[in-house]
Structure 1
Amino acid sequence: MSILPLIIQLVSGAVGGNVAGSLMKESSLGTLGNSLAGILGGGLGGQVLGMLGMAASSGSMDLAGILSSVAGGGVGGGIAMAVIGMIRKAMAK
């Protein structure tokens, strides 16, 4: 596996985590927390899509492979940040 799709997924995850944090102010973890949760979710989301055969797992970086890495990382990062933020908010009560 090429390292470039993983880097794209991690960066997209960080962006997705920060976007989700700005949309969900009450569950936001701060910029660093949103980025770290997004990176974690981006890596996991990209790997899940790769296992399902929807991402560029062959290492060919054509437009479809790049877009699937960006989508998987961004969505995974946003979901991970939202889940971690909600858990943190529930534990604070």
Structure 2
Amino acid sequence: MELLVSILVQLVGGGIGGNVIGQIAKKISLGPTGNSIVGAIGGWLGTWLAGMIPGLEGMLGTAAGAAATTGLDIGALAGQGVTGLIGGGLLTAIAGAVKNATMKQA
């Protein structure tokens, strides 16, 4: 159950991050649906990549940290939400920039 909640926090954080970037930088926006989907994927990937950084794995509540504790850790969920937000925003910005670059060439 804790794993499902963690993944949902990452996906929702990423979707929010993608939509925020889409609203701030209209030129790289993929539309609300595209921003949400790419942002959610970026949120999950961003948290996964951040968990590989030494010292962050315990803070983000990765599999090893989650197995050692029981119940939901609010601090870990907050960390996952923030990294999901950042990861979602970054991947949305990259995807929007790539889309714009390919559209100019066509």
TM-score over 0.5 for the pair: yes
User: How many residues matched?
Assistant: 93
- Answering whether residue 75 of structure 2 is matched by residue 64 of structure 1, we say yes
Larger radius of gyration: 2
> What's the secondary structure of 1:51's corresponding residue?
coil
CA distance in 2, matches of 1:48, 1:5: 15
CA distance in 2, matches of 1:4, 1:63: 11
1:5 Cα shift? 1.0
- Runs of at least 5 residues in structure 2 that lack an aligned partner in the other structure: none
CA distance in 2, matches of 1:29, 1:2: 29
The one of 73, 77, 81 equivalent to 2:92 is: 81
TM-score (norm: length of structure 2): 0.81
Q: Kindly provide the CA deviation profile for residues 21-53 of structure 1, in whole angstroms up to 9, marking residues without a partner as x.
A: 000101100000000110110010011122221
CA distance in 1, matches of 2:14, 2:22: 12
1:70 Cα shift? 0.6
- Runs of at least 5 residues in structure 1 that lack an aligned partner in the other structure: none
Residue 43 of structure 1 corresponds to which residue in structure 2? 44
Q: CA RMSD in A?
A: 1.4
- Answering whether residue 12 of structure 2 is matched by residue 11 of structure 1, we say yes
- Residue identity (%): 35
Name the stretch that deviates more: 49-58 or 38-47. 49-58
